[in-house]
Amino acid sequence: MNDNQTISVILVDDHHLFRESLKMMISEWSDIKIVGEAGDGKRCLELFSELQDVTVAILDITMQGPEGLILAEKVKKLSPTTEILILTMHEDRDYIYQAFKNGCRGYILKSDSAVELQKAIRTVAAGKTYLSPDIATDFIDDLITRIDVKKKTFNLSSREQEVCGNLIQGYSTEKIAQYLQISPKTVRVHIANVMKKFNCKTRSDLIARLKEERSDLI
Lowest mean pLDDT among 85-99, 104-118, 119-133: 85-99
Q: Is pTM beyond 0.85 here?
A: no
Across the range 67-96, mean pLDDT stands at 92
Beta bridge partners of 106: 85, 130
What's the first-to-final CA gap in the chain, in angstroms?
A: 26
pLDDT tens sequence across 186-214: 999 999 999 988 888 999 888 888 877 76
Domains of the chain plus CATH, in order, are: 7-135 (3.40.50.2300), 155-215 (1.10.10.10)
Query: For residue 142, how many other CB atoms are within 10 A of its CB?
Result: 15
Across the range 152-158, mean pLDDT stands at 71
pLDDT tens sequence across 7-64: 999 999 999 999 999 999 999 999 999 999 999 999 999 999 899 889 999 999 988 8
Give the pLDDT band of residue 144 (cuts 50, 70, 90).
low
